[in-house]
Chain A
Amino acid sequence: MTAAGLSALWSHWWRNKLQLATLLAGLALATALWSGVQAINSEARASYDAAAAVLGEGQFDQLVPGRGEAIALETYVALRRAGWQVSPVVEGEIGVAGTRARIVGVDPLTAPGGSGTSVLTTPPEPQDFLGTGVIFAHPSVAEGLSARVKQKVIADPGVAPDTALMDIGVAGQILERSSLSSLIVWPEQPMGRAPLSDIAPDLVRQSAQETAEVGRLTDSFHLNLTAFGLLSFVVGLFIVHGTIGLAFEQRRGMVRTLRALGMPLSRLIGVLALEMAGFAIVAGGIGVLLGYVIAAALLPDVAMTLEGLYGAQISGALQLRPDWWLTGLGIAFAGTLIAASGALWRIAKMPLLASPGGRAWAVASGRTRGLLGLSALVLLAIAAGLIVAGQGLLLAFAGLGALLFGAALALPALLDRALALAAGLAKGVRAQWFWADTRQQVPGLSLALMALLLAAAANIGVSTMVSSFRLTFVEFLDQRLASGLYIQAESAEQASRVEGFLQPRTDEIMPLLYVDTRLAGAPAELYGVRVGATYRENWGFLAATDAAWEDVAQGEAVGINEQMARRAGLWVGDTLRVAPQVQLPIAGVFGDYGNPIGQAVVSEALFLTQYPEVRPTRFGIRVGDKDAMRAELLAFGLKEPQIIDQQVIKDFSLSVFERTFTVTAALNVLTLSVAGFAILTSLLTLAAIRVPQLAPAWAMGFTRAGLGKLELLRAVILAALTMVLAIPLGLILAWVLLAVVNVEAFGWRLPMFVFPLDYATLAGLGILAAALAALWPARRLARTPPADLLKVFSNER
């Protein structure tokens, strides 16, 4: 019986291959976008985990230098002698075959379990690692490294991307350094050992929580990506829902017959569910493969974005991971279930003797529209509540979800009102018929139009956010990198000599003094700056007193970045304790985009009273001729890498953001394409029921070509109305992303800029997509044989 039932159901798809293709394509596209994003996230997280595992980040505390980048070997020895259970680490970077490899040296004898060599897929023999100095490198750098060093290099995918793991002695040789980078602290320490401040006062203990910072910071980025993927998935589901809904409606007669011939309802529902499961497997499999292609194309851009934004290294190459294969198929199943549940429910509740054509799928009743409108109002109210009063990133995204769904559900009612208005204004009988007929089509097209609305609004929202970010960021870079050249001395002694050399040769010297400390209860950086023309002219404040820089220069005030201000609930006029004995009023809050950590700025003089031992090793200089100055500094004895052109940093930063835009733009195009496809599928599936609706108009004097043109016009008008509604929705979305989500995710609020030309272009593209989608169905309609139209008037149809 099951086989007979399945063959009957399958015969429908066999006879309606286009509908089947639509269903599979919709589900595959939805799954592809979702699983593509998940593949990127999964790859990135695997890279973070691999990177963190090398040094047990997030697992063990670490001792790091309070200043500079080195821990003397003597300090390590002193700590061990004092009973501290610590394990040394040497870290650095070298150039390898056009890329940079992270060199990590560990001591396997003292490293706690869960760090160091435990990440390797094949644990090495101690004599290999310690004796012959075998290096284990990620495959991305193994070959290049092997050409550069004399030790044997083994490629091991367990090592973090672009990283090589080796014995600490080998790392010291390769990096040409004798000092240590950090010390891993064992969780169990002997009682009664001397405090850190007595043995190594220059070292700072970082908690395991702090060392897991990269993962925490990048979570926001991945959440954004996930939200985009989910939105694309939802857009795809609109297609599937529409196709399944129509297919089920078309098969109402078959369902009635099957039941009349003796198939029990439970078996019938089971067979229908089995059919859907089959589609989910096929489309899900195709979707996951497509997702792999999308992810592989986008991953290099995402990798660069993440490295540029957070310093997080992720592999630019994608691996086929079983977890996202399964997740992809799982989401295809879930999507099919969601899309089919309504139709299955209707079948389950359909009386056996119901008329096969009793409920026209495409004609929603006024009651349905009313229910949708009511649901929309409830969702929009929830969205407003969550966005305005909600706390935390998840609630902000929940608010966004409610906003988008609410707007989508409100669309049919809004379109109906707009078309009713147009019908009221129409003069001729043809125009009146056109508007009335267009109104009749709204329920059938509403799912596709909702998909277009969501895709366009997401496009506008995300583009506005990213473009606003770009404008703000460029301005910010212009401010921050105004000094021209940036010098990095090897030591405080060299810095002092360089400063003396520069004094008569430059317009302004800006030494950079800083310590890592805790301010307002959280880890932060305290900077001491020499306030001069550069700061006064270029460092703008988001909010400040009238004489902010003057007050900071006099040591009477502090400036803080927006992240610290928002996290600690501080603002201009409040006070901040910058040192145990120093509490200063906040004179200004400055924007600080791209940096997640709190910063405070005081005058150089005040800084040195609190941290007299700190000497600047970095400073910016303002010069007229950068090239000439570079030549002079090289002649003075500095090495090329010590002199950094700020323009180069700016160009690099902008290139990182260009990569971000590439990812966003690609996702935007994909989402819009899916929406266009949704319109095409809806029109194609609606075409079957359009003939009886259009045949009377044809009989009364419309030509078939004329009807085809009107079909095209109808799609364009509906798309245009949808795009008009998408623009304000997208702008609200952008505002929420900039003013709520960004604050929650990154700690800063970005000003919002609007880009009318971009929106007009997008609206044009949306309308073009709808017109292209409508072209084929309209052409088919224009070529409908008169015999088919005549059948409408005969009993044989």
Chain B
Amino acid sequence: MLLNVKNLTKSYAGPDGTVPVLRGVDVTLGTGETLALTGESGSGKSTLLHLVGGLDRADAGEIWIDGRDVAQLGDAGRAALRRSQVGVIFQQFNLIPSMTVAANIAFHARLAGQSDAAREEALARALGLTEQMHKYPEQLSGGQQQRVAIARTLAARPSLILADEPTGNLDEGTAAEVIDQMLALVTEAGSALMMVTHSMALAKRMGRQLHLSQGQLT
């Protein structure tokens, strides 16, 4: 099993005291599998994604990725995990505004020490970015920026891709196009994908769907 989440809990301090976000969540995901996480706002979807990606720390529970417990890793260990095994695609794209499209696509792979120009070019071609390679993110549309973020993640060849509402900022047509391309490339790469989405239509295109409500899987 690539991902094994056991009894995960997380709460935040709010103005009226502690607010529980996740209450004993269990999730598993195998290599090449795709999983949709759905639920209303504040149900804990993004928090679960952040915890799995080592972007935040859980209060209790275990997160095993490829035989390693993320909860036990320090900052450097979790950074290494994100660099080499996990790729995160954000709703806000999070591109580096001062770097060109080409540099952005290559960036994660360079950090991981496995830059491959041919693969980056192939990804850019597959995502229709060939003409945009020398442009800066601010010169691209939202859909194009998200394609760059997807290419960046896939170029680093992570075994687990976490996507946090990747089409949340895109119109319906563009969103469908981007998702088609992303799923095709993820499948081709053999990576596992866990995607947070509000869209039931999109969720149905994943191998499995999990619904979170008030911090628990239903």
Chain B residues in 8 Å Cβ range of A1: 83, 110-111, 113
Query: With A353-B55, A795-B169, A796-B142 given, is the CB distance from A261 to B111 under 8 Å?
Result: yes
* Cα of A271 to Cα of B134 in the assembled complex, Å: 25
- Contact check, B111 vs A15: say whether CB atoms are below 8 A apart: no
Binds A, one of B96-104, B117-125, B176-184, B190-198: B96-104
Q: A8-B99, A262-B108 are in contact. List 7 more A-B contacts (CB 8 A).
A: A8-B98, A261-B108, A262-B80, A263-B83, A264-B79, A353-B50, A353-B55
User: Does residue B75 face the partner (Cβ distance < 8 Å to A)?
Assistant: yes
Check B31 for interface membership: any CB of A closer than 8 A: no
List B contacts of A631 (CB < 8 A): none
A257 close to B103 (CB less than 8 A): no
User: Given known contacts A262-B84, A265-B79, A796-B142, is B111 in contact with A253 (CB within 8 Å)?
Assistant: no
What residue of chain B has the Cβ atom nearest to residue A265's Cβ?
Answer: B75
Distance, CA A585 to CA B84, complexed state (A): 91
Q: Which residue of A3, A14, A263, A352 is within 8 Å of B55 (Cβ)?
A: A352
Which residues of chain B are near A4, meaning CB under 8 Å? 107, 110-111
State whether A261 and B82 are in contact (beta carbons under 8 Å apart), knowing that A4-B107, A353-B55 are contacts in the complex. Answer: yes
Give, as a whole number of angstroms, the nearest-CB distance from B62 to chain A.
20
Using Cβ atoms and an 8 Å threshold, which residues of chain A touch B112?
262
A:335-376 near B, CB below 8 Å: 352-353
Give the distance to chain A from B137, nearest Cβ to Cβ, in Å.
11
B8 within 8 A of A: no
Instruction: Report the minimum CB–CB distance from A70 to chain B (whole Å).
Output: 77
Chosen A-B contacts, 18 in total, with CB atoms closer than 8 Å, are A1-B110, A1-B111, A3-B110, A4-B110, A11-B96, A12-B98, A14-B98, A15-B97, A15-B136, A16-B98, A258-B96, A258-B111, A259-B79, A260-B53, A261-B88, A262-B79, A264-B75, A267-B79
Interfacial residues, chain A to chain B (CB-CB below 8 A): 1, 3-5, 7-8, 11-12, 14-16, 253-254, 256-267, 352-353, 795-796
Near A by CB (< 8 A), chain B positions 56-112 give: 56, 75-76, 79-84, 88, 90, 94-99, 103, 107-108, 110-112
Task: Establish whether residues A262 and B103, one from each chain, have CB atoms under 8 Å apart when the complex forms.
Answer: no
**Hey, which chain A residues are within 8 Å of B80, CB to CB?**
262, 264
Q: Give, as a whole number of angstroms, the nearest-CB distance from A377 to chain B.
A: 32
Which residue of chain B is the closest to A11 with respect to CB atoms? B98
B53 to A: closest C-beta gap in Å: 8
Q: How far is the CA of A4 from the CA of B56 in the complex (A)?
A: 24
In the bound complex, how far is the Cα of B100 from the Cα of A8, in angstroms? 10
Those 5 A-B pairs whose CB atoms lie nearest each other, nearest first:
A262-B83, A262-B82, A11-B98, A264-B79, A4-B110
Nearest B residue to A262 via CB reads B83
A253 touches B81 (CB 8 A): no
The A interface is mostly helix, strand or loop, or mixed, namely helix
- List chain B residues, Cβ under 8 A from A262: 79-84, 108, 111-112
Most buried by B among A15, A253, A266, A352: A352
Q: When chains A and B are docked, how far (Å) is the Cα of A7 from the Cα of B100?
A: 12
A264 CB contacts on chain B under 8 angstroms: 75-76, 79-80
Cα distance A352–B90 in the bound complex, in angstroms: 14
B88 contacts across to A, CB distance below 8 A: 260-261
What are the residues of chain B within 8 A of A3 when measuring CB–CB? 110
* Chain A, Cβ-Cβ closest to B141: A796
Q: Which residue of A lies closest to B87 (CB)?
A: A261
Q: Kindly list chain B residues whose C-beta atoms are within 8 Å of the C-beta of A16.
A: 98
Q: Nearest Cβ in chain A — how far from B46, in angstroms?
A: 9
Chain A residues in 8 Å Cβ range of B103: 7, 11
Interface string of B128-141 (1 = CB under 8 A from A): 00000000100001
Among A3, A260, A265, the most chain B Cβ lie within 10 Å of the Cβ of A260
Q: Evaluate contact between B82 and A260: CB separation under 8 angstroms.
A: yes
> Is there contact, CB below 8 Å, between A263 and B97?
no
Q: Are B97 and A254 in contact (CB under 8 A)?
A: yes
Closest to B81 in A: A262
Tell me the complex Cα distance, A261–B79, Å: 8
Q: Among B81, B84, B95, B110, which residue has the most Cβ atoms of chain A within 10 A?
A: B110
> What are the residues of chain A within 8 A of B76 when measuring CB–CB?
264, 266
Pick from B75, B79, B95, B141: contact of A257, CB below 8 A. Answer: B95
CA A249 to CA B97, docked complex, whole Å:
14
> Are the C-beta atoms of A254 and B82 separated by less than 8 Å?
no
B113: A residues at CB distance < 8 A? 1
A1 to B97, CA, bound (A): 19
* A795-B111 Cα distance, complex, nearest whole Å: 30
Are B96's CB and A257's CB within 8 A? yes
Asked if B94 and A253 make an inter-chain contact with CB atoms under 8 angstroms apart, the answer reads yes
Q: Which B residues are CB-close (under 8 A) to A267?
A: 79
Q: In the complex, which residues of chain A have a beta carbon less than 8 angstroms from the beta carbon of B110?
A: 1, 3-4, 7
Q: What is the CB-to-nearest-CB distance from B102 to chain A, in angstroms, rounded to a whole number?
A: 12
Cβ–Cβ < 8 Å partners of A11 in chain B: 96, 98-99, 103
Roughly how many angstroms separate A158 CA and B198 CA in the complex, as a whole number?
A: 82
By a CB distance below 8 angstroms, the chain A residues around B111 are 1, 4-5, 258, 261-263
- Chain A residues near B53 (CB, 8 Å)? 260
B194 to chain A, nearest CB (A): 15
* 0/1 interface trace, chain B 18-43, chain A, CB 8 Å (1 if under): 00000000000000000000000000
Chain A residue nearest to B113 in the complex (CB):
A1
> In the complex, what's the smallest C-beta–C-beta distance from B48 to chain A, in angstroms?
13
With contact pairs A11-B103, A265-B79, A352-B56 given, residues A260 and B136 touching in the complex (Cβ less than 8 Å): no
Q: List residues of B (151-178) whose CB comes within 8 Å of A's CBs.
A: 156, 169
Interchain CB contact under 8 A, B107 and A8: yes
Report Cα–Cα, A12/B55, bound state, in Å. 24
In the complex, which residues of chain B have a beta carbon less than 8 angstroms from the beta carbon of A260?
Answer: 53, 55, 82, 88, 90, 94
Q: Complex Cα distance A261/B53, Å? A: 10
Q: Which residues of A contact B141 (CB under 8 A)?
A: 796
Counting chain A CB atoms within 10 Å of each CB, which of B79, B94, B97, B110 scores highest?
Answer: B79
In the complex the two chains form, is B56's CB within 8 Å of A256's CB? no
Q: Tell me, in angstroms, the Cα distance from A291 to B84 when the chains sit together.
A: 49
Q: A335 CB to closest chain B CB, in angstroms?
A: 25
How long is the Cα–Cα vector from A353 to B54 in the complex, in angstroms?
Answer: 11
Measured in the bound complex, the distance between the Cα atoms of B50 and A253 in whole Å is 17
- CB–CB A263/B79 < 8 A: yes
In whole angstroms, what is the CA distance A14 to B96 when docked? 13
B83 contacts across to A, CB distance below 8 A: 1, 261-263
**Residues of A close to B90: CB separation below 8 A:** 260
Residues of B within 8 Å of A258, CB to CB, are 96, 111
Cα distance A260–B149 when bound, in Å? 12
B90's nearest neighbour on chain A, judged by CB, is A260
Instruction: State whether A15 and B98 are in contact (beta carbons under 8 Å apart), knowing that A1-B111, A260-B82, A264-B76 are contacts in the complex.
Output: yes
How near does chain B come to A791, taking the closest CB pair, in angstroms? Answer: 9
Closest residue of B by beta carbon distance from A16: B98
